[in-house]
Chain A
Amino acid sequence: MTKSSFTNIQSEYLAVIDHAKCVRCKRCIQNCGWGTYSFGGDKIIADHSKCVACGRCYTYCPEGAISILKNPTVMRENGNWQDYHIKNIWRQSETGGIAISGMGTPLKYKKYFDHILLDACQVTNPPIDPLREPMELKTFLGKKPSKLELDFNEDGQPVLKNPMPPQIELSTPFIFAPMSYGSISLNAQKAMALAARALGIVMNIGEGGLHDEMVPFGKNIIVQVASGRFGVNRDYLNSGVAVEIKIGQGAKPGIGGHLPGEKIGADISRTRMIPAGTDAISPAPHHDIYSIEDLRQLIYAIKEAINYEKPVSVKVAAVHNIAAIVSGIVRAGADIVYIDGFTGGTGAAPIIIRDNVGIPIEIALAQVDQRLREEGIRNEASLIAAGSIRTSADAIKAIALGADAVAIGTAALVVMGCHICGKCHTGNCSWGITTQRPELTRRLDPEEYGEKLYNLINAWSHEMKDILGAMGVNSIESLRGSRERLRGIELTDSELKVLGIKHAGM
């Protein structure tokens, strides 16, 4: 077929230029990574079909002359047949391809964080002032013994009998979520690394290897080993503060990844340690892990390689049987388990998977924490919760449900300008985040956005301290797993039960 009747699927957005305001500076043409704008002799012309509403053009238009509007042309309304169902059918019938997209699911599933309310103190116990009084957010990720083993020195003073298992020390219970070089630009990684270093937290380098320029940030980096094993060698394993085995991702549980060969330039080729121009394929499974004992084998292979000096984390997507899975992971020797919820982000995922597979992080977390406690092994590993933490409130609710820390992925990209247009997979990101096009990536100044990331985590940490203070505790560990401080609203008995919380008023 050369020409299809469906090529003119209605544009989603209209890029409308107020020509009276426009001074023809052409900044929009330069800024748009999608080629929406061109100069038509005397004025700017917009090709609406290319616009993804990434927000770059109007942010940088000095005259405020651009408006991005939702295309008012209607499709006949149908509560069952949504407009995206119909358009995807057209698109797929054109190409026969799997529909893919970037970012977490945009569908309106129930967000449990929005149905959980927090507690505060009144009279019987006092709130604590978070600004003047000490308020501790320091968090250690790693295995903790179930009891303290002591020796006594010659003065009869107690000393540790055995050194503590290795820990990652965080000044505040946030980390930057794994996003590989390849899926995002080096500058985006650098911005997170700079912020992590300034904050005393860590970023996760993702599965795409460690670029030379990221090596100096090792004390603030978790390195990842995924099924593609990109850039993985002995030095890589030892270059961060921890190693993470990536089993799955909340946006696409059970499937692998695929960075197309055209994106594998010289730099990425060197970092991933694969030839330029070849597809970078992450298989769905690790082909050395077909069962839980195999995971144990890999965990200990890594522990041997790093001389047991750093914690090993395992990242899994939240799926139906997550509690039993995580219990197995902990018993297999993981020091940290990173659970990525259903709404977690991605650089590219088939929407059939992204929008339909997995369970929400709130439920996964509640079940995992409870299961580990029932088995008496909650101390054996720390839990990181991820999957669209949108506010400090989401973070604090996750911690009260049982997380040790939360991971910030999409929110960090939003700091860098991301408008969640969901076109990460195209490599045209106008903000220089999910692209490798040099003219786009160089506009992302790591220093500038590093500072903004620093500001965001600082602001959220302050908010967290406000909440802790209102709850009358001055240390995050007194909230961690304290579901007594949570109440549900508009939730069914079953939902309350799986979350392990009571309804408001009870």
Chain B
Amino acid sequence: MLRLKNNFSIEHDIAGCGLCGIINIRKIRTNGEDIKKAIALEHDRGNGLGGGFAVYGCYPEYADIYAFHVMYDDLAAKHDVEEYFKNNFIIEKQESIPVFKTSKINDHPILHRYFMKPKSDREDRLLHDLGDDDFVVSSVMLINSEYDGAYVFSSGKNMGAFKGVGYPEDIADFYMLDNVEGYMWTAHNRFPTNTPGWWGGAHPFTLLDWSIVHNGEISSYGINKRYLEMFKYNLALKTDTEVIAYILDLLIRKHGLPVELAMNVLAAPFYQTIEKMEPKQKELYTALRQIYGSALLNGPFAIIFGYPDGMVALNDRIKLRPLVAGTKGDFTYIASEESSIREICPYPDVVWSPKAGEPIIIKTINTENISQKQRLIIS
């Protein structure tokens, strides 16, 4: 049986890794070739036990409803989950996620996707007055923790995660990402250190429209987890990445923090830096640390965080993991290694490494969601 979930007897699954991201700020869509090439260059940062991609803008025809990507161990699990979906969602379309079996990836779970929205008369809404997003989050948590043999690995709008056990370049071939287009891509190559690979454990980790790829181990996992549990998050996967995703969900979606400030929670400035700030700013950052000390990500990390408005890259506050960025025209590239960027963009306009804990935030400019091909035809 394939492992969809972290049923290993461990508290905390940890991994080393490589990561890449590409964004076009005008939301011009490109296929998965470049991101595959870029992450393939970081082949040796992983060990073949986890690879994956997140792509934004890939489902323009269903942009207003949730796209669930679900992996199943067997048809019985699929039947059970679909029963839940039918009771609570209006399903506009469902289909197998197109895959191409290769010699590298031939043993895989049942992979299915659903384009749907919560029913307005769903029982939970009447009872708990949950918004659609909250309902989707609780549905994802419910399925992932309570339904054996089923795992939701993507649940956002007009975005999707494609991941599994294997090297990322093989995962890209498996999901035929050269046929998928998006304006923003992130990719991950995983090197798990205390479990064998499991399909759900590959990155990106997603929740609604957030996606996270992450390199490094969070040494503060224990308290980050307990902090999130106080806000009723169920950390079923026991991974660092899940913790990061939930912290961002809490800070940005639930507490309404601007993305920049949320990043300053994850990689909080040191008090000695705060000391030097203007009084108002000092007050704000001191409060940020006082309130969100348990959400500080401590230990080495680099993350790329995707959300519909853009991409954010961040490393830890003493820079123990690498992160390099480059831009060329409307494209920004982010990677663990400069050579990954050069592989797909040999002559970027500028290449730089962010400082420790200093987020790179690339926001999209509001334009229509069009593919590069269409763009060429128009111009």
Contacts and interface: CB of A to CB of B under 8 A. Distances in A.
**Are any A and B Cβ atoms less than 8 Å apart in their complex?**
yes
B223 A125 contact: no
B257 A159 contact: no
B293 A480 contact: yes
A134 interface: yes
B145 interface: no
Interface stretch (A95-103, A137-145, A350-358, A427-435): A137-145
Nearest to A372: B230
Contact of B222 (A147, A163, A485): A485
A478 B296 contact: yes
Interface in B1-52: 11-12, 14, 16
B294 interface: yes
Contacts of A479: 220, 223
B7 to A, nearest CB: 16
A11 interface: no
Interface in B296-324: 296, 298-300, 317-318, 320
A179 B359 CA distance: 48
A248 interface: no
Interface string B234-274: 00000000000000000000111110010000001011100
Interface in A153-183: 153, 157-160, 163-164, 167
A125 B226 contact: no
B11 A473 contact: no
A124 B193 contact: yes
Contact of A482 (B14, B223, B270, B272): B223
Nearest to B16: A124
B163 to A, nearest CB: 21
Interface stretch (A78-86, A109-117, A234-242, A373-381): A373-381
Nearest to B14: A124
A185 interface: no
Interface stretch (B98-106, B171-179, B278-286, B337-345): B278-286
Interface in A214-241: none
Contacts of B283: 159-160, 163-164
A121 interface: yes
A20 B141 CA distance: 81
Q: Which of A123, A125, A133 has the most CB of B within 10 A?
A: A125
A125 B291 contact: no
Contact of A158 (B258, B294, B317): B258
A481 B219 CA distance: 13
A77 to B, nearest CB: 47
A36 interface: no
Interface residues of A, number: 45
A475 B219 CA distance: 11
A126 B320 contact: yes
A484 B12 contact: yes
B321 to A, nearest CB: 10
Nearest to A167: B290
A150 interface: yes
A125 B240 CA distance: 12
B219 A125 contact: yes
B318 A148 contact: no
A148 B300 contact: no
A252 interface: no
A339 interface: no
B226 A483 contact: yes
Nearest to B289: A477
A370 to B, nearest CB: 9
A444 interface: no
A472 interface: yes
A471 interface: yes
A134 B272 contact: yes
B225 interface: yes
A477 B223 CA distance: 9
Given A158-B284, A484-B221, A473 B272 contact: no
Interface residues of B, number: 50
A157 B299 CA distance: 29
Given A125-B299, A147-B255, A473-B299, A159 B280 contact: yes
A474 interface: yes
B216 interface: yes
Contacts of B272: 134
Nearest to B15: A124
A136 interface: yes
Q: Which of B217, B221, B284, B293 has the most CB of A within 10 A?
A: B293
Nearest to A377: B230
Contacts of A148: 255, 257, 261, 287-288, 291-292
Contacts of A502: 11
Nearest to B217: A125
A373 B280 contact: no
B64 interface: no
Contacts of B14: 124-125
A484 B293 contact: no
B9 to A, nearest CB: 8
A128 interface: yes
Given A126-B320, A148-B255, A478 B280 contact: no
B226 A124 contact: no
Nearest to B318: A133
B272 to A, nearest CB: 7
B229 interface: yes
Interface string A270-293: 000000000000000000000000
A150 B230 contact: no
Contacts of A477: 223, 289, 293-294, 296
A126 B287 CA distance: 29
B231 A481 contact: no
B220 A379 contact: no
Given A134-B272, A376-B231, A483-B222, A475 B294 contact: no
Given A134-B272, A373-B230, A483-B226, A475 B288 contact: no
A160 B226 contact: no
B363 to A, nearest CB: 14
B142 to A, nearest CB: 20
Interface in B174-218: 193-194, 216-218
A496 B216 CA distance: 30
Contacts of A136: 270-271
B247 to A, nearest CB: 13
Q: Which of A124, A147, A373, A480 has the most CB of B within 10 A?
A: A124
A157 B258 CA distance: 10
A198 B99 CA distance: 67
A311 B190 CA distance: 47
Contacts of B292: 148
Contacts of B261: 148, 150, 158
Contacts of A374: 230
Interface string B137-168: 00000000000000000000000000000000
Given A134-B318, A147-B255, A373-B229, A482 B222 contact: yes
Contacts of A475: 268, 293, 296, 298
B220 A125 contact: no
Contacts of A134: 270, 272, 318
A125 B11 contact: no
A443 B257 CA distance: 57
B216 A125 contact: yes
A344 B36 CA distance: 62
Q: Which of A164, A167, A479, A482 has the most CB of B within 10 A?
A: A482
Nearest to A129: B318
A146 B290 CA distance: 10
The 3 closest A-B pairs by CB, nearest first: A484-B222, A477-B293, A482-B222
5 contacts: A148-B291, A159-B283, A474-B298, A478-B220, A480-B294
Given A146-B291, A150-B256, 14 more contacts: A124-B193, A125-B216, A134-B272, A140-B290, A145-B291, A147-B291, A148-B261, A148-B292, A160-B283, A376-B231, A378-B230, A475-B298, A477-B294, A484-B222
